[in-house]
Chain A
Amino acid sequence: MKDALERFCDFMGTGTIMIWFLLSLIYLFLREKRKPRRILFVYLPVIVLLLYFNPLFAEGFNRLVEPEVYFRFCWLLPIIAVIAYSAVTIFEGLKGRASVCFGAAVLALILFSGKLVYSSPLYSRAENLYHVPDSVVHICDAIEVPGREVMALFPRELILYVRQYSALVCMPYGREVTKIYDPMDALVNSEVIDLEELVPMTRQRQCHYAVFRQEQKFKGAPADYGWEVFLETDGYVVYRDTEVELIIPEEAVQSLK
């Protein structure tokens, strides 16, 4: 029950939209007489809420699916439809200036109660038609070999995008490192990377390339470990590990010719 409440709190965020929803529900319960609408706009949400907060139901649901996604049950609540419908039915009963003022007030209420989705700091201007950073496009295009996969180590800020853009570029670890510890990732994220430790790890995982930010500091010189600068682009340096063999398929060589 506590879990369900916590997840409901997460779902409703600031809570003001949920308050408007509950008030709309009460208004419709009192005023809506048409049975089909009463069922969908009043009874259905009430049943969904009763089920959601029923400890037995929550227990059963969480056994079937992961408890973290219990909030998705709230998607069955027609929140925005109920708010908009009740607002319009109130508007219907008003005349002249009162109706205009009411409409404007509802819009203002939504504006101040909600939060613009696009105000999230995770939004940025798209750099290209792929909605991935240009650096990913340039690096992947440069290291891709037709007809085979290559293994490349990428810094954390790029790992979300690499495999969305290219199926030919593989990585020693992916997004899961944000939840599961990986010693290689820990090393790559250190302020000064000790190549003595990192290079054996990248070779063990057959990394043909390693990508680092240009300002990245190393303990040891990359060239001493057989790492050659392959490309410098968009603030990143791509090293090619000459010790890890990269055989290009014959057909690919032919096609390149």
Chain B
Amino acid sequence: MELAVQSLILAFLLFAVPTVVGGLSAKVLEKKGGKRDICFRWVSGQMILWAGFQVISVPLILAERPFHDVVLAFSGYMAAMFLLGVAAEIRRFAVRKPEERQQRVRGERDPAVLFLWCCAGGLLLLQLVLACLLAYEEGDDAYYVAVSTVTEYSDRMYYHLPYTGGTTSIDGRHSLAPMPIWVAYLARVSGMKVVTLAQIALPLALILMCGAIYLMLGRRLFPEGGKKLPLFLLFLQMLVLFGGYSTYSAENFLLVRTAQGKAILANIVIPFLFLLFLVILERLQEDGKTGAACWLLVGLTMVTGCLCSTQGTLLTCIFLGAAGSCAVICYRRWRLLIPMAGCGIIPVCTALLYFWLD
């Protein structure tokens, strides 16, 4: 019973809240009066929340404030974002024309298409089931999960050595990428034991989120639907499952170290940046306008990269530099350098802080 209540609270925090918050960035992908894209709202909402967590928690960690300060401040931020999301949704519903509210009539599905969808969905489901049933002897969990466990128990952040329990001073490398503190936050708010949260609940949410990003990418690449979209997803899911060819592949990290920041960086943050850049480039191709909301979301996703790993600062900046430069050169739009520079401000500041603390 207790576990059921904890799971419900977590489902609210990990699915409902980000989806509502994502309504704030809905116009990046959704057309006016068009169908809601729940996947996009969920992922973008989570990026808004993660970026907020990074901005709130790092100063509090460096100031050696207790963990409950982070819990209070982030809960306030999340509640404010949630209310703004609700308000935006009400406003959007009010201005919607009646004909736009009509339900879409679904056409008949080709059995082959249905079969491909079932295969792709089945493979994703298999990953979720095995994330619950199988345990992996992962050395780094001894650090990251222990940091979350100790933080949740002791109410102090990065003050105890996770391996042994002795006391220590602030460690710049890890404290600037406080993903384990977010895990501790979820444990504190839901009441679930950190180790269950990190080993079962979060892998379920994060593997699903990665699948949602691939789905959005597929929809973008194959808007006409048919067999191509489920086939694309089926190939992707097979490549994820058979990504054990190297212990360093992003796919291996997704299934083995799911709740660790670096796995989130490789499998959620970078693919989501990829998707956002596809949107930006398609808009440049169509009418030359990219929209501030899209760049803002790129910036927030880059801040999330900093939350995941200190290397996230470098990788997201390099991604921005490489993809952005291509866009600038191919479309001869030098003005793109301005939002690009804006997106890089927080990651660059984080990197500078890292060297200063080191």
Contact = CB atoms under 8 A, between A and B. Distances in A.
A256 interface: no
A111 B355 CA distance: 43
Interface string B219-235: 00110000110011011
Interface stretch (A74-82, A191-199, A233-241, A243-251): A74-82
B274 A167 contact: no
Interface stretch (B29-37, B42-50, B91-99, B145-153): B145-153
A115 B227 CA distance: 26
**Prevailing SS type, chain A contact patch:** helix
A110 B242 contact: yes
A164 B149 contact: yes
A166 interface: yes
A244 to B, nearest CB: 15
A136 to B, nearest CB: 10
Interface stretch (A5-13, A211-219, A223-231): A5-13
Contacts, number: 253
B135 A176 contact: no
Contacts of A69: 311
A43 B244 CA distance: 27
A163 B139 contact: no
Nearest to B284: A36
A106 interface: yes
B232 A51 contact: no
A40 B228 contact: no
A138 interface: no
Contacts of B162: 163, 174
A149 B165 contact: yes
Tier of interface size on chain A: 35 or more
B142 A175 contact: yes
Interface string B308-322: 001100110011001
Interface in A24-58: 34-37, 39-40, 43-44, 47-48, 51
A173 B323 CA distance: 45
B333 to A, nearest CB: 12
4 closest A-B pairs by CB: A174-B163, A114-B242, A170-B165, A13-B246
Interface of B: 3, 130, 132-139, 141-143, 145-146, 149-150, 152-154, 160-166, 193-196, 198-200, 214, 217, 221-222, 227-228, 231-232, 234-236, 238-252, 255-256, 262, 265-266, 270-271, 274, 277-278, 281-282, 284-285, 310-311, 314-315, 318-319, 322-323, 325-327, 330-331, 351, 355
